[in-house]
Amino acid sequence: MLLGVTGNIGAGKSTFCAFLKSFGLPVYSADDIGKELLKKNAPAHGPVVEAFGKQILRPDGEISTKKLADLVFREPEKLKLLTSITHPLILERIAQIGSKHPLAVVEAAVMVEYGWQEHFDKVAVVFAYRGQRILRAARKFGIAEALRRDSLQLPYGEKLKYAHYLICNTDSPLHLKEQAEKLAKELEVL
């Protein structure tokens, strides 16, 4: 069984997934898979360099994910081009994960935005109030970037249409951990 975990920026998806991992579930990140696919000699490296030019490369020949992000998150057409290259490869890896484990978790922030929910047996949506999310994300990206990234994501009303589990992260980390433990136990008996 493959569980997809999603939610908007700053909702606590990664923290929730870390708790699931601490309870023994294999946990993967679609972002990490995407970064692995961009490494030199990985399947997406050549096509991405061809599409965006050598200016995205570091001196060692690896793709600078910062330069690439700066390019694609400012121009919707460039983001579309990048996702047309990387998303099929990411979904292929996710399918491999699903076939390798009887139960696995994949964190995918933009799962619903790209229709990936169909590739998961169950979907958990991590919810937090917008103010909480922006404050959390601003610590990592700065307020302007947190707001900009938030504006690119679907509202929770859309994501909840696909949710089998709603994880409420509006309280303490302990409460989030308790929800992770409850879900881990439930999934292990399914």
Q: Is residue 34 part of a domain?
A: no
Q: Which of 50, 68, 100 is the last residue of a domain?
A: 100
User: From start to end of the chain, where are the E strands?
Assistant: 2-6, 27-29, 104-107, 122-127, 165-168
Which pLDDT score is estimated for 188?
Answer: 86
Q: Is residue 36 part of a domain?
A: no
Report d(CA 70, CA 137) in Å as an integer: 17
Number of domain units in the chain: 2
> Quick one: which H or E segment has residue 124?
strand 122-127
Which pLDDT score is estimated for 159?
Answer: 96
Binding site per annotation, positions for ATP: 10-15
Q: What is the mean pLDDT of residues 112-136?
A: 96
pLDDT surpasses 90 at 77 = yes
Q: Is residue 168 part of a domain?
A: yes
Asked if 134 and 183 sit in the same domain, the reply is yes
Q: Is residue 33 part of a domain?
A: no
Residue 5 contacts residue 104 (beta carbons within 8 Å)? no
What pLDDT digit, counting tens, does each position of 21-37 carry? 999 999 999 999 999 99
pLDDT surpasses 60 at 164 = yes
Which pLDDT score is estimated for 44?
Answer: 97
Asked if 177 and 109 sit in the same domain, the reply is yes
Cα 75 from chain centre: 20
Q: What is the mean pLDDT of residues 118-142?
A: 96
Which pLDDT score is estimated for 114?
Answer: 94
Binding site per annotation, positions: 10-15
pLDDT surpasses 80 at 189 = no
Asked if 131 and 169 sit in the same domain, the reply is yes
**How much is the pTM?**
0.92
Average pLDDT over the chain, rounded to an integer: 95
Least confident of 2-6, 103-107, 138-142: 138-142
Asked if 116 and 180 sit in the same domain, the reply is yes
pLDDT surpasses 70 at 136 = yes
Under the banding of pLDDT at 50, 70 and 90, the label for residue 190 is low
Report d(CA 106, CA 98) in Å as an integer: 9
What pLDDT digit, counting tens, does each position of 148-157 carry? 889 989 999 9
Output the CA torsion sign for 87, 73, 36, 137. negative
Q: How many helices (H) and strands (E) does the chain have?
A: 9, 5
Asked if 146 and 109 sit in the same domain, the reply is yes
What pLDDT digit, counting tens, does each position of 34-56 carry? 999 999 999 999 999 999 999 99
Domain hosting residue 158, numbered range: 1-26+103-190
Q: Is residue 187 part of a domain?
A: yes
Q: Is residue 32 part of a domain?
A: no
Which pLDDT score is estimated for 9?
Answer: 96
Asked if 123 and 136 sit in the same domain, the reply is yes
Q: What is the CATH classification number for the domain harbouring 12? A: 3.40.50.300
Q: Provide the Cα torsion 120, 117, 8, 168; round to 10°.
A: -60
SS3 for 163?
coil
Asked if 18 and 71 sit in the same domain, the reply is no
Rounded (5°) CA angle 45-46-48: 70
